[in-house]
Amino acid sequence: MLCKTLALVALVHTIGAFESEAPVDFSHHKIVRIHPKFVWDLQRLQRLENVFDSMLHQQLLKVCHYDEEKAENLRNIMYSTRAFDYDTVYHTYDEIRDEMRRVDDEGKDIPGLIITNPGGAAKKAIFLECGIHAREWISTAACLWISNQLVTTTTYDNLLDKYEFIIVPTLNVDGYIYTHTTNRNWRKTRSQNGLCYGADPNRNWDAAFCQTGASSSPCSDTYCGKSVFSESEAKAMADLVATKAANTAAYVSVHSYSQLWMYPWGYKSANPPNKARLDELSAAGVAAIKATDGRNFKYGTIANTIYVASGSSIDYVYDKLGVQIAFALELRPDANASNGFILPASQIKIASQEFWNGLRAMIEKL
């Protein structure tokens, strides 16, 4: 009940700003009155009602963080003057897909953008693979934020003259939708595997598949899947990278959380042959991150930095596609956060900025 009360207090506080003259009637569990001085489009009002309704009725109320996150997201949606808010809102899949279609009218089922400037033959590609784990919302939000910077400003024309950025903001679409509708803490895909759902799409790639740091139990959060590339999300991404493999400057898989900048391998503790080069690039990245907002990121191989894990995307592109520069990042917060998947929406912008600064510092050294 405490959580429910806290969530309501947050909402009442928010709504109070809009309703100073008429108190909100909560008896029907819906917001029935909105101060007329604020213009509301129907879609936004419906979205507000849906969020509010599910907040009251959902079964996860005992997990306080989720309610606080919803309240903050809702508050930011209400205050935002933008149809799509890159700075302070964790958007739903439908909103992301529509926004991708607005930017690029060929928006796919797994939305992705190729951003570059005209001219220049055979530009090298830089991949941002984001949201492979459903609950890591800041990964998706930060990649969207970067895509918006690239599309709407001329600041980074020097990068776009030289590279094409291939950005997939929400690779695990089904899982991401599930985190918005049903279980905020969902990590895997939503494929059915016996009695349980989902495989870990970052244990499903053809790199020491299911040998270590992955589970063969379909109910585990790190279930490797029925077979290599059984998950369509991993397969689709692998196929996309394969089309550019010989011409890829860097592949970056974006996760949260723990503030880490990692490179191959995950499936064994040995150092990769170009460790010195990867260290140099990582050091540039983490220094730029530190300079942004004082955050400390550690760098090193996946196995030596976080844990042993086989079947990951960067090990695959490194081993099988010959992409020499492959990183897996864990964005903020740091590893000590009590529930780090819930990063307040007020930190979307700074988390994105520090990531982008780190990324650009790395790219400048390529």
**CB-wise, 51 or 309, nearer to Zn ion?**
309
Name the one range near Zn ion by CB under 5 A: 47-55, 117-125, 127-135, 312-320: 127-135
Structure tokens that stand for 154 in this block: 């001329």
Retrieve residue 338's tokens.
Answer: 């009590």
Nearest distance from C-beta of residue 365 to Zn ion, angstroms: 25
Residue 188 interacts with Zn ion (CB under 5 A): yes or no: no
**For helices 275-293 and 348-364, angle between their N-to-C axes, nearest 10 degrees:** 140
User: C-beta of 131: minimal distance to Zn ion in Å?
Assistant: 9
Applying CB under 5 A, among 133, 135, 180, 332 the residue interacting with Zn ion is 133
| Phi and psi at residue 163, to the nearest 5° | -130, 160
Which stretch, 125-133, 213-221, 239-247, 309-317, contacts Zn ion (CB under 5 A)? 125-133
Which residues are catalytic, by number? Answer: 330
Based on CB atoms, which residue is closest to Zn ion, 52 or 341?
341
- What 3-state class would DSSP assign to 207? coil
203 neighbors 310 (Cβ within 8 angstroms)? yes
Considering the complex, state which of residue 10 and residue 171 has its C-beta at the smaller distance from Zn ion.
Answer: 171
Q: Which is nearer to Zn ion, 55 or 262 (CB)?
A: 262
How many residues bind Zn ion (CB under 5 A)? The answer is 2
Count, residues in the chain = 366
| Cα distance between residue 213 and residue 265, in whole Å | 12
H-helix segments, the chain: 2-18, 42-57, 64-79, 93-103, 137-152, 157-162, 173-181, 232-242, 275-293, 302-305, 313-319, 348-364
Pairing of strands 326-334, 260-263: antiparallel
Task: Pick one of 91, 180, 255, 295: the residue that binds Zn ion (CB under 5 A).
Answer: 255
Question: How many angstroms separate the CA atoms of 11 and 363, rounded?
Answer: 42
Which of the stretches 56-64, 105-113, 130-138, 280-288 binds Zn ion when contact is defined by CB under 5 A? 130-138
Q: Is the CB of 255 or the CB of 295 nearer to Zn ion?
A: 255
Longest dimension (CA), the chain: 68
Stretch that binds Zn ion, among 100-108, 128-136, 192-200, 231-239 (CB under 5 A): 128-136
**In the complex with Zn ion, which residue's Cβ is closer, 97 or 188?**
188
Q: State in angstroms the smallest separation of the CB of 5 from Zn ion.
A: 32
Specify whether the backbone of 122 is left (phi greater than 0), alpha (psi in -120 to 50) or beta.
left
Least gap, CB of 103 to Zn ion (angstroms): 25
Token digits for 340? Answer: 């780090």
Site string for Zn ion, 204-243 (x = CB under 5 A): ----------------------------------------
- What the block records as the tokens of 106 is 């060929």
CB of 160 vs Zn ion, minimal distance in Å: 28
Cα torsion angle, 323, 325, 331, 337, sign? positive
Helix/strand/coil for 330: strand
Least distance in Å: CB of 202 to Zn ion?
6
The binding site for Zn ion (CB under 5 A) comprises 133, 255
